[in-house]
Amino acid sequence: MATNKLTEVAGLVAQAVMGAKVKDKDGNAKTVKPTGDDNLLDLRDIVAGGSSFSGGDITPDDGTDTSDGVNIIPGSLDDGSITSRRLEWSGTTSTTEATNITFMNDVGLNLNQVGDGLQFWGHMQRIKVTDGVKADADIVPLNFDPKNVKKNDYYTTTSPIPFSISRDKLPTAKKVTITLNGVGEGLDNIVDHVSPTISFTFNQDKTLTVLPTEGHDLDAGTKDDTGTVKTNGAFYTFVLDYINNYSIQDPIAQLPPSVNLFSGSASGEIALSGANEFFDNVMDGLEITFDPLLHTNIVDKDRKEVSYNLTDIGVPTSIKVPKAKLIENFEFNGFDKLTPTVLAVKNPIYQTPGYLQFLGYSANTIKILKNAITVNIAVKTSQSSFNNLNDSSYGKVNYTFLVTKITPYKN
């Protein structure tokens, strides 16, 4: 039977190779697609034994979103190969419109002053839907898993967290979009899935435009008496919290937890000895240990200072600051919210307060500096008489927590 030319061409196209599956030098399976007008597969880096692919879009078989070098995993905080991190911006981006960000430092006209790239940290805003009714927005933690396995109470994505973008992948006026692919919360009976996205555009005036798009996971729903379909599930939007720059170096030796970077009694700015400039060598982070006693200005019948255990007011005696937060100029809360507590004054004397009401924190911040850390944590108290807790004639006094030791820690 004769065939026409169109049929012959269709047969050839059906048998044509559209890509290749290869393994890099680490044994990871990759998919390489044709690129450019010549539709060639660029395998030069593979032949050379490298792992930095160039040319087409390359996506690991595990689904990790590293297309064309956007949202890469540049190195490891654990071994110190990610270094020179400083805060470039912090705040909260809009969930409904574009947010224009001004960097804290001069990043250069083409991001040539940020080192090797930028990292973007944030959280997932969730709006649950039950029978078609939306609840108030809350937050679901993010979980990066290249194998895309559901983790209870987390939003699982195959996109590496934080987002790490090389500076050459953010050319001026080009919008770069990252899709948070993955199983999400793994909700049951989902028939309508859209992954949330976040896009970044570096502008000529050295600002950054950030634009999210909402994703969702919804079931088929049920119809009510009016024929309206009422669905169940959730809507998701990525919210950016802060940005830091980064550079890459060879792995470095890590200090053991037995090393004291600080020992004494202090608050405010504390210089650390032994940690390097950007805390690349402190294992998994810093553990800040406090004096277990909160000292007051009250004296008892024996003329001794009245003090309280931190645990008496529901406060732990140490804080672990993960290495991810050890970014120069990054400031964050130290402890969780303090539950108001009333404690009696021990062994009191006449004309001294009978009770201390611990009302909350008057200061509660930790700030990362070069070779140093600032710890400002204090509790606000109202000093009351024996007979009347509402009698605050003894005044309100703030008592400062004292740092006694800072060491590296290992999870």
180 vs 219: CA distance, rounded Å: 20
Cβ atoms of residues 128 and 171 within 8 Å = no
Cβ atoms of residues 157 and 64 within 8 Å = no
What does the DSSP 8-state code read for residue 283? B
Q: What is the pLDDT of residues 148-173, one digit of tens each?
A: 999 999 999 999 999 999 999 999 99
Strand, helix or coil at 12?
A: helix
322 vs 366: CA distance, rounded Å: 12
List the structure tokens of 336: 């969780």
Q: What is the pLDDT of residues 355-400, one digit of tens each?
A: 888 999 999 999 999 999 999 999 999 877 655 555 555 667 899 9
Place of tokens 């680490």: 26
Beta pairing partners, 398: 380
pLDDT band, very low/low/confident/very high, at 45 (cuts 50, 70, 90)? very low
List the structure tokens of 145: 């898993």
pTM for this predicted structure:
0.79
- Is the pLDDT reported for residue 351 higher than 80? no
pLDDT band, very low/low/confident/very high, at 8 (cuts 50, 70, 90)? low
- Is the pLDDT reported for residue 268 higher than 80? yes
The mean per-residue pLDDT over the stretch 323-329 comes to 97
Give the N- to C-terminal CA distance of the chain in Å, as an integer: 72
- Is the pLDDT reported for residue 23 higher than 50? no
Residues with Cβ within 8 Å of 58's Cβ and at least 6 positions away in sequence, in order, are: 30, 31, 32, 33, 66, 67, 68
Amino acid making up residue 106: D
Place of tokens 């108030």: 136
Please give the helix or strand (H or E) that residue 120 lies within, else none: strand 117-130
139 vs 132: CA distance, rounded Å: 20
> Mean pLDDT across the chain, nearest whole number?
85
Do β-strands 20-23 and 29-32 pair in parallel, antiparallel, or remain unpaired?
antiparallel
User: Where does 267-357 have alpha helices with state H?
Assistant: none
Residue 55 to residues 79, 116, 156, Cα–Cα distance (Å): 30, 20, 29
Q: What is the pLDDT of residues 102-119, one digit of tens each?
A: 999 999 999 999 999 999
| Max mean pLDDT range (14-23, 61-70, 299-308) | 299-308
What are the extents of the domains in the chain? Answer: 11-48, 77-248, 262-386+393-409
- Give me the pLDDT at residue 52, please: 33
- Is the pLDDT reported for residue 59 higher than 50? no
Q: Comparing 153-167, 261-275, 320-334, 388-402, which segment has the lowest mean pLDDT?
A: 388-402
Strand, helix or coil at 69?
A: helix
Nearest to 389 by CA among 346, 338, 345: 345
Q: What is the pLDDT of residues 371-380, one digit of tens each?
A: 999 999 999 9
66 vs 53: CA distance, rounded Å: 11
List the structure tokens of 405: 């030791």
- Give me the pLDDT at residue 355, please: 80
Do β-strands 155-157 and 142-144 pair in parallel, antiparallel, or remain unpaired?
parallel
Strand, helix or coil at 363?
A: strand
Strand, helix or coil at 41?
A: coil
Between 309 and 57, the more confident residue is 309
pLDDT band, very low/low/confident/very high, at 34 (cuts 50, 70, 90)? low
Cβ atoms of residues 111 and 118 within 8 Å = yes
Q: What is the pLDDT of residues 196-250, one digit of tens each?
A: 999 999 999 999 999 999 999 999 999 888 889 999 999 999 999 999 999 999 9
- Is the pLDDT reported for residue 37 higher than 70? no
- Give me the pLDDT at residue 44, please: 41
- Give me the pLDDT at residue 29, please: 46
Between 123 and 36, the more confident residue is 123
- Is the pLDDT reported for residue 40 higher than 80? no
- Is the pLDDT reported for residue 28 higher than 60? no
Q: Comparing 24-33, 127-136, 288-297, 322-331, which segment has the lowest mean pLDDT?
A: 24-33
Place of tokens 């008489």: 385
Please give the helix or strand (H or E) that residue 47 lies within, else none: helix 44-47
- Give me the pLDDT at residue 39, please: 53
